[in-house]
Amino acid sequence: MPAKFVPAPEVETVARTIIREHHPHLQNARLDYLFSVKEIHSKGKEVWGTMRKVSSLAAFLAGETDGDGPGAFFCMVISQPVWRALDQARREALVDHELSHAWIEEKEDGSLSLQLLHHDLEEFMGVVLRRGLWRNEVEQFADVVAQAQQRSLYETENDSPAVSAVKTLVA
């Protein structure tokens, strides 16, 4: 059965605030927000959301541009069943996470290039358990986790420890 998507105005409302506060480079970018009606799975794991770059060719073929402009844009897809199960703080963290994938770079000629950024850390728990903090990225991530654990003592009533730590680190 093909995937079914519906507009996600609630996600867009959350995103507007987060963009204004933490992702100003996206303020003038086109971002579409969709819910996946069914759960999303990839490689045996539940996926809460994704950020996609819709290419200028795909936008043209979908009738989204006349071919004159760049036409490329970002599209955030959130699992609607997951969204419904999350509290507000976790919804904000999910949207912030997906927005962190979207980057816009200005080229030398003044044109804009939309890019998807990878996660700061790509590692397996088993490797860290066996080999320790063997790469700079792993060590830096462990340091951030340690800072987050310290800050969790001062979390607000509505924030999870992770949300509080991220708010403090990026403020």
pLDDT digits (tens, 9 = 90+) for 159-169: 554 545 444 44
Q: Which of 53, 39, 153, 154 is nearest to 85 (CA)?
A: 39
Same domain, residue pair 107 and 164: no
In single-letter form, the type of residue at position 102 comes to A
pTM: 0.79
Q: How far is CA 115 from CA 89, 92, 100, 112, in A?
A: 27, 22, 11, 10
Same domain, residue pair 155 and 101: no
Residues 125, 131, 135: CA angle, nearest 5 degrees = 85
Q: How far is CA 95 from CA 11, 43, 77, 160, in A?
A: 7, 22, 10, 15
Same domain, residue pair 131 and 58: no
Burial 86-99 (b: 16+ CB within 10 A, else e): eeebbbbbbbbebb
Percentage of residues of the chain with pLDDT beyond 70: 84
Whether 29 contacts 73, CB under 8 Å = yes
Q: Which of 30, 163, 9, 20 is nearest to 97 (CA)?
A: 163
Same domain, residue pair 70 and 127: no
Residue 144 belongs to domain spanning: 119-171
Same domain, residue pair 96 and 131: no
- The pLDDT of residue 154 is 57
Same domain, residue pair 130 and 110: no
Same domain, residue pair 114 and 161: no
Same domain, residue pair 69 and 141: no
- The pLDDT of residue 60 is 85
pLDDT at 119 over 50: yes
pLDDT at 8 over 60: yes
Q: How far is CA 113 from CA 71, 102, 105, in A?
A: 11, 11, 5
Same domain, residue pair 124 and 60: no
- Work out how many domains the chain is built from and give that number: 2
Tell me which of 118, 133, 160 is where a domain ends. 118
Same domain, residue pair 85 and 26: yes
Whether 104 contacts 26, CB under 8 Å = yes
Q: For residue range 126-145, list pLDDT tens digits in order.
A: 999 999 999 999 999 999 99
